[in-house]
A and B are shown apart, each in its own frame.
Chain A
Amino acid sequence: MTADSYGTVLPNGIRLTFIPAAKFKTISMALFIHQELSADKATLTALLPSVLERGSRLYPDNMALRRALEELYGAELSTDVHKKGERHLLSCSLEMIHGKYVGEGEQMLRRGLSILGGIMGDPLVVDGGFKEEYVAQEKEQLANLIRGLINDKALYAVERCLQIMCARERYGVFKYGRLEDLERISPASLWRYYREILSANPAELYVVGDLEARQVEAAAREAIYFHRGPQRDGLPETEVYVEPSEVSFVEERLPVEQAKLVMGYRTNIAYRDPLYIALVVYNGILGGFPHSKLFLNVREKASLAYYVYSRLERHKGILLISAGIDGSKYEQVRQIIEQQVEAMAHGQISDVELENTRRGLINQLRAGEDNPYQFINRQLDGEVGGRHYTIDELIRGIEEVGPEEIKAAAEKIRLDTVYLLQGEERTMPHGH
């Protein structure tokens, strides 16, 4: 079912994975550099994507780069940082129309890859540092991004819950870093930091599209040419196994119309653990779908929320439950949620719930094969999680997982932190 992928290592040590897929109109490519997530490095890592995008030797300013992308039939470039467990990933990806649809040949692939390679591997360096004005402006932009977390209240509540829950773990670090670090970062120190991780940290390149392996490899060798030195041996592992001593409850107030409740659980199950697939099914039954216990009981039966779901931070072994509620109904909502979690622990799962969840999960996995970036993301999960599951392996696992294993997963799950973002007054029948 899965297209055969082709893997090789480029001369500079970057691993290339190519996935042939004739059904897509596009060629998609992404380069990732892995770094550990840590408080003292996160802001540096987070500042890099936008500084790199601002200027490379090939495209020294944003206008030059944007025009090149437009000439490439509206290619879409995106740089960002991602958090997967206690791993921080720097990414640069590019998607463009396949040349055959616009009367262009193979040079499209080369041009796309050379933009990607130029941004990540051949940045604009002036007097031993990144360009000063770019760094200053991007520091300002990053500061806005950090301060802007508050603008999306649901995201803010989830992030606050994780910060409180993981205050003594690296996972508590925000992926965009901290405001107070920005001042100390200079164009030279940022460049020194980048040179080091570019040279020594694990890095991967992915290409998906209707192409031949040899042409992808040849183009990648040409475009991703930057020099790398000796590789560092491994990045530190994510701390997954944590037994909370007691449940912490934190309530914060803001003048908002809707309260947000976030409950953080420790699952003590890592991505590569034997119970991982049982945990995925557990999460599906509890709150991953509109047929799940949470949606059914909190929304459909009690009419207490528009959104309520659970989701896994799969590389950290954390399960989060999140709901937007009327602040005055907090106790009632929490009680219904805890009843559902308890029912799971007692193995109160109907055959229908189990079967529907299995089918839903398998459907999601298969549908993911129709999206180039979901395909890439699954490969990346394998890299970070220390275990590569094939699609068939996951599907078989989901089909075979039984009530006993789900119960075994459920018994490991402990509530750690409850976070409530509350409005300023408890009852606001008609807003302000």
Chain B
Amino acid sequence: MAIKSRHSVREFSELQEKLFCYTIYPGMPLYVLPKPGYQKKYAIFAAHFGSIDNRFRVDGTGEELILPEGVAHFLEHKLFEDERGNVFDRFAAYGASSNAFTSFTYTGYLFSTTDHFPECLELLLDFVQEPYFTEETVSKEQGIIGQEIRMYEDDPEWRVYFDLMQSLYHRHPVREDIAGTVESIARITPELLYHCYRRFYHPGNMALFVAGDVDPEQVRRQVEENIARRNYRELGEIVRLQPNEPATVARQRITREMVVSEPLFNLGFKDPAVTRLEGDALLRRESAMEIMLDMIFAPSEPLFNELYEDTLIDDRFNAGYTAEKSYAFVLIGGETRDPEQLYERIMEAIARAKRVGFSAEQFERHRRDRLGSFMRRFNSLEFIANNYLAYLFRGTDLFNYPAVLRQITLEEVQLLLEEVLVPERHAVSIILPKKS
């Protein structure tokens, strides 16, 4: 079968990198980033199916399906096993290390190897495209994932984060733990896994990224042949349904007790406007928000140093912004001896920033810092590949980041401060030390 794949080469001249981009029939993007001199070769094969994709409409029928929490993650675990056993062992025979992860928005299957790259790539393509679920293997996995859930239940940083999500969001599935609960995963059956698999694990809803000292054309041929022999038809539309999420927060404050030495504090601001943005506009908002947060909260700015000198924070105190297609929020937090005082001081600092504004010197310094930090990370094959796909699935382009960063203006950052960091849309999550 002679199916011609479209392709293009993107030059990223600043960093002296070249990205080979292909579209493999029926509609799967393939990216190859040659890294001469690297011993390691890395590949990630990803499905645009994350924990928040828990409600969708089935083509034609109008039927709506709602999944129990934790299905995407469960499916990730289960693809590692088939009738011949465990896939880790087959990668191990090539010396490769393999793994997978599930995020809110996608599931990635990956390996890295210094030898036998074509065999490993074949194995990756095969195991992800050949599901095998039985009553027995599903029930065994419920035990393993049950322990994974318990492990996270004891992780204070995980708990304080999800408590905040539950406070910021009324209904959006980003509130729920990616692995689900012991109760929700008990409802998962082989039929349900096959159903979701057929929906979301179609090349038209997937992407592959390869990085390392490889020949792009060879990779392209191999992927094309592997996909072609499976006779996929074009993918119908996947209609992801998101609940109607109000702009307001679900509750302002939540407190929990755990075995910790000091309280943990997370402050979030919900940003509902992001759902209107796409592509570079989304990337631009994200980049501008990061610089804005840096100008208030970075260790080079007065607030951080005042809080540190008053021993209200440690050097892990951090402020960040997360933006996806259907949700976005600011998260500020860390460990503190006094959550109430820290809260007051942060809110005062935000109010002060609104009154006083930012300086051009500050703005340029943080822009330079962000640009250099981004470029530094191009040492890591994993960073490039994983982020390229994460950006792709939300409709943005990782390689546009430097250009977008250069376009941002101080004025737009100041407007964002007024728009996003507003008291009406904030929530606080606190973990207090359990008294024994």
A interface residues (Cβ-Cβ under 8 A, vs B): 1, 21-26, 50, 61-63, 66-67, 69-76, 95-97, 101-102, 133, 137, 140-141, 144-145, 147-154, 254-258, 289-291, 295-296, 299-300, 303-307, 324-326, 352, 355-360, 362-364, 366-367, 369-372, 430-431
Contacts and interface: CB of A to CB of B under 8 A. Distances in A.
B92 interface: yes
Interface of B: 14-16, 35-40, 86, 88-89, 92-98, 112-115, 140-141, 143-145, 147-148, 150-151, 153-156, 182-183, 259-262, 298-302, 305, 308-309, 311, 314-315, 335, 337, 365-366, 368-376, 378-381, 434, 436
Contacts of B113: 363
25 contacts: A26-B376, A50-B315, A62-B305, A66-B300, A71-B368, A73-B369, A74-B373, A74-B374, A76-B376, A102-B372, A137-B308, A148-B262, A150-B260, A154-B151, A258-B154, A290-B86, A295-B88, A305-B147, A324-B147, A356-B93, A359-B93, A359-B115, A363-B113, A363-B115, A430-B182
A371 B93 CA distance: 24
Contacts of A289: 88, 92, 97
Contact of B97 (A153, A358, A363): A363
Contact of B92 (A22, A141, A148, A359): A359
A372 B380 CA distance: 11
A356 B98 CA distance: 13
A56 B261 CA distance: 31
A155 B337 CA distance: 22
A50 B311 CA distance: 14
Contacts, number: 203
Contact of A74 (B37, B302, B335, B370): B370
Closest 8 CB pairs of A and B: A73-B372, A359-B95, A66-B300, A303-B143, A74-B373, A23-B37, A74-B372, A290-B88
A25 B378 contact: yes
Given A71-B368, A72-B372, A356 B89 contact: yes
A399 to B, nearest CB: 11
A249 B96 CA distance: 37
A358 B315 CA distance: 40
Given A23-B35, A255-B259, A303 B144 contact: yes
Given A69-B300, A371-B379, 12 more contacts: A23-B37, A74-B373, A96-B372, A140-B311, A144-B335, A150-B261, A290-B97, A303-B144, A362-B114, A363-B96, A363-B112, A370-B379
A325 B375 contact: no
B368 A70 contact: yes
B154 A153 contact: yes
Listed residue (B183, B305, B369, B370) with the most chain A CB atoms within 10 angstroms of its CB? B369
Given A24-B379, A324-B147, A141 B311 contact: yes
